[in-house]
Every structure is written in structure tokens, then in C-alpha cells.
Amino acid sequence: MNGKTISVIALSSRDYADLPAKLREAVHWMECACLQGADLVVFPETLNVYKGDGPGNPNALSYEEAALDDWEAGTRFLREAAVRLKVAVVLPLLIREDAGLANVFFLISKEGRILGRYQKMRPTEGELAAGVVPGAACLMDWEGIPVAGAICFDTNFLETFDLHARMGARLFLIPSLWNGGPWLDGIAARFTVPMAVAYPAWSKIVDLDGSVLASGGYRQETLRFGYGAPVYTASLNFNREVFHLNEQADRMTEIRLRYQNAVRVKLLHEQGAFSVESLSFDLPISKIIQEYGLTTFRDYLGR
């Protein structure tokens, strides 16, 4: 078993007085996430845009006005709170660099170390016109888990996920200003990679079989009326894999009989697949794959 608990925070896209005010609210909800056992907290796209996240807002900040010259100084309050709470954080920001503007997120460990950054690969036409520079595919390591990113408009392109999956991604982190709908659920199932989507209106955590484990946001009347918390939390077991039924279906019973309570085997009817999940810290899924000559779902389709 290799369990991690992730919280996605549907931080409101309303106007704030200033950036510190927005960061104070972000820290409040991060504290709530930690009470739910979060190992990692994910915030929505461009956290430093404190006015005008939604279209048609007369108070909207331009990209130039919103971009941070010194993002570490500008977000120190939030990052110090994350260290105090002992939680890793996905910090999405619009920043200014020599090459122009960058829509990025930083993956920061629970000790406050920068583990890596992802830069939006597919900026919108409006972003490109404003000088936002496209990034490239990359992987980051979060406590032994290869992590990939996507930011909002990136999720419209299957190539974003295909490329990262081929690189070995086992978790997609997606700060966004849209939720991606069932399209993203299907992508998680196709590449058997779970994803955490943080979006003010509807955040969600999707497992590697495409099932939505937690979801919600300001699309809900109760949240808009001030009830509840925009924090959605779920646990993922990264010691789990999915396998195509073709030529492998007979292994399900064998694995159940061999490992009994040490594993959970689940038939995924709609995908024509099954999953095997190790419930033991001493039983890596790689051992089961090797022992039974299994081929993972993504490798089977990829070949």
C-alpha cells in the first residue's frame, strides 16, 4: 500500500481587497484540509489574481498588473503556513521572468522545498497576446511518485496527457479555471493516472479508473450561501494498477486466491479491465505484475 491523501480547494474567484487577503483565506482552507488528513493541497490556477478571475469583471487585473516579479516574497505567508501545517502544496501563479510572463505552478514539499515547476504548455490566445510564454512537458517527484501537470486550457489537448503518461506520470495535478467535465474522467481511465483538479466552481479528485472520489465547488447553492467548506479530499493508493481483460482475465481469480486479504481485485466492467490494489506495505504491485506476467492497461493499449 502507498496511500496519499489529497485535498483540492475550490478557492472563491470573487474579488479580494488585495493579494494578502486572498492568501489569508487560502491558508484558512488549507488548515481545514489538514484537519481532513491532507498530505497535499492543490489550489486553482493563478492564485495571485485577486480580482477578475471570471470573465466580464470590470475590476479585472491585466496579466501585467497581476504578474509577480518576486513570487517567493509575495507568497511567503502561505508557504510558511504550509510548513507549519506539514503539508505539501501546489502553488499556481502568474509570474514575470526575463522571457516574458509564465503561467506556472510550483510543487512545494511539506518541508518547504521546491520540488519542481510546471509551466502551462498551451496558453490561450489571450495569454499569448499578453506575452505568456508556453512551457514544456516535465515530471516532478513527490515522495517517490512521478507527478505531471496541466493548467486549465492544457486539458483540452489529449497530447498533454499522452506525453506525460509515456514519460511515466502517476498523478496529474491540474490547477484550473474550468473543471474539464467528463472528458477528464475519461482521460484518467484511458491512461490509468489519477488527477486532482482545483477549480473555484467545481473541483474534483478522479481515481485511475475514472471514478470521481470527491467533488464540489461554488456551483453548489449551499457553498455560495456560505455553508460548508470548499475543500474536497480523497485518498489514493499508488500501489494499484489497471489491466486489460484481454488475455489476462483469468489472472483475477489466481491473484485473489494467492494474496487473499492483502489485495483488492476489482472488475471494471465499462473499461473491459480489472484493477489490482495492494493493501500491504510489504507487497509492491510490481511484484504481482512480475509474478503473473501482467501488462498494464496503458502499456497494453500503447503497444
* Per-residue pLDDT tens over the stretch 238-267: 999 999 999 999 999 999 999 999 999 999
Kindly state the percentage of the chain with pLDDT values over 90: 91
Task: Please state, rounded to an integer, the average pLDDT across all residues of the chain.
Answer: 95
CA distance 32 to 215: 16
Quick one: average pLDDT of 52-63? 78
Are 128 and 32 in the same domain? yes
C-alpha cell at 241: 494498477
Residue 57 has pLDDT above 90, yes or no: no
- At residue 80, the pLDDT reads 98
Answer yes or no: do 120 and 244 share one domain: no
Grid cell, residue 139, equals 515530471
Query: pLDDT tens for residues 187-211?
Result: 999 999 999 999 999 999 999 999 9
Angle at 63 between CA 159 and CA 71, to 5 degrees: 85
Residues 264 and 133 grouped into a single domain: no
| Angle, in degrees to the nearest 10, between helices 181-191 and 158-167 | 30
One domain, residues 277 and 224: no
Examine the pLDDT at 231 and tell me if it is beyond 70. yes
Q: Would you place residue 53 in the very low, low, confident or very high pLDDT band (cuts 50, 70, 90)?
A: low
Of 210, 237, 264, the residue that ends a domain is 237
Give the mean pLDDT of 72-85: 98
> What does the pLDDT read at residue 56?
74
Residues 58 and 152 in one domain: yes
Higher pLDDT, 117 or 270: 117
Indicate whether 247 and 233 sit together in one domain.
Answer: no
Per-residue pLDDT at 54 exceeds 80? no
pLDDT at 237 (0 to 100): 98
pLDDT for res 302: 84
Q: What are phi and psi of 91, to 5 degrees?
A: -110, 100
Residue 22 shares a structural domain with residue 83? yes
Q: Which among 199, 216, 237 is the end of a domain?
A: 237
Residue 144 has pLDDT above 70, yes or no: yes
Q: For 176-184, what is the mean pLDDT?
A: 91
For Cα atoms 287, 293, 298, give the angle at the middle one, nearest 5 degrees.
90
Instruction: Report the pLDDT averaged over residues 156-185.
Output: 95
Q: Domain check: are 90 and 189 in the same one? A: yes
Whole-angstrom CA distances from 14 to 4, 52, 58, 199 are: 31, 7, 12, 13
Q: Give the end of a domain, one of 237, 264, 280.
A: 237
- Whether 160 and 26 share a structural domain: yes
User: What pLDDT is recorded for position 55?
Assistant: 66
Is residue 287 over pLDDT 70?
yes
CATH of the domain at 122: 3.60.110.10
DSSP class of 154: G
- Assess whether 247 and 219 both reside in one domain: no
Q: Which of 168, 129, 132 is nearest to 152 (CA)?
A: 132
Given pLDDT bands bounded at 50, 70 and 90, which one contains residue 35?
Answer: very high
pLDDT at 85: 98
The tally of domains found in the chain comes to: 2
Residue 118 structural domain? 3-237
Asked whether residue 145 falls in the same domain as residue 30, the answer is yes
Q: Is the pLDDT of residue 179 over 90?
A: no
Confidence of residue 303 (pLDDT cuts 50, 70, 90): confident
Are 198 and 51 contained in the same domain? yes
